[in-house]
Structure 1
Amino acid sequence: MLRFKSFMMAAGAAILITACATSPTGRKQVLLYSDAQLAQSGAQAFSAMKQETPISKKPVTNQYVQCIADKIIAQLGPNADTDEWELVVFESDQVNAFALPGKKIGVYTGLLNVAENQDQVATVIGHEVGHVLAQHGNERMSQSTLIGITQEAVNVALQTNDVAQSGPIMAALGLGAQLGVALPFSRAHESEADLIGLDLMSKAGFDPRQSVNLWQNMNAASGGQRQLEMLSTHPAPETRIKDLQANMGPALAQYNQVSNKPNCRP
């Protein structure tokens, strides 16, 4: 019983020291880690990526992606110094991109085969930068920490009370944590990053309507080979398109106010 109380006290202490925050869309968050910790982790991961993955040496490709990223970064307020951000184009068939705490952006050349124009590339870069702005990495790490503490506390409670089926119960709890907490939170992060990215790209003068075209292209490129939405960390393309269309009015209004539209060419 003493061991169980110790774990419960540890879990309680972790929750008490949790920093409560609000995302750019107004969603409540639990953040346990500092910006400095996340920036250091992001820089280390990015450095490893540059050592493990070939980097594009094509000036035209690099200039094209850098042009788009600079326009997005310019909308970031206090973080709008493009010189502080590092962007690398990686030679890979992956249809993807990412952004990391510490102001790091990576784009795979495979994305440029699916994103047909500057506006569609801006959709993806805006989305990935949105993850950083909303501190989704911090939130996921914090969530994992708290789930781990809670599961260990329950495991101790089961052992202390001699529950015969503690193994199956813990397995079920782990699955429940994934389906009930971790995966829905991940889908919430993706949807939130979509909306932040839509806002950033439209403010930068990229056509927000192309975000819908991008996800139509993504869906076609997948060939329909994807998991059920309930068991996926990402919303289905149809869901993303519906959410983007529902928020298109304000984005289009912002886009139409931009007089000097970007002209980034591959």
Structure 2
Amino acid sequence: MNRRGRLVLGALGAVVVGVLLWEGYKAVGPADGLSLAGARVLPRTDDAAMPHIATILSRFADPELSGGDPIWLVVLQACLFTLRSVALGFVLGGLVGLLLAVLMQRLRIVERGLLPYVILSQTVPLIALAPVIAGWGGRLSIGSYPWQPWMSVTVIAMYLAFFPVAVGMLRGLQSPAPIAEELMRSYAAGWWQTLVKLRLPASTPYLFPALRLAAAAAVVGAVVGEISTGTRGGVGRLVIEYSREATTDPAKVFTAMIGAAALGLAVAAVIGFSEFLLRRRRVRA
């Protein structure tokens, strides 16, 4: 079995294990959960808290409202709406991260002064930052085009996506052995030639893991941004809307959650497929 087959089999196995754990705990776990010192350690297993997997999946085929579109179509449309912010945030965050990594590799003083702040930026609570970004965006405009709520979500996604790329690419650009750098200097190669011919190819093993993390972070940022800013149309807002019906229709809440998780997996799969194509081309070369 090749590597791609093992990845597919591993992914299917993970899904099966997750379903078995869910149903197994629901079958043997206490209905009221388990609490220690007033804190709930294990969740409740009644149908209001943990619906059966079959119930959740069957809910996708039901109409969202009486006579309306089925839930799977509503969730798909919401995911496609969120995908716009995810894609833009991922691309912009990746470019910002790449530029910061190149700048920090080029100037050691920039690395020493900027890297701590790059790391510190990820400690700011996103749920507190999102309303601030939305408030600033409400006062901006792009020419005659007013700032849209989805743009604030894109900025939040970019904010989370740039960090893995900046750190991963910095490590990749610094990975060439000293003897390889000395060889480039012996050829009288300048900084730009060394970057293109040596450092960027050497950073490829670090780039794609960073891109996968950035893609997942962009999805998280977009979903949380939609929840925090109240942006309508996306899967984040759908989670909030469905959660209002959690007491009467708990399975409906999980449909939006599964949609958000599927969006993250789809974006990560695109990055993984791109990595596969690049490696295949390099092997042929």
Larger Rg: 2
TM-score bucket (shorter structure): 0.3 to 0.5
TM-score normalized by the length of structure 2: 0.31
Bigger fraction of residues in helix: 2
TM-score normalized by the length of structure 1: 0.33
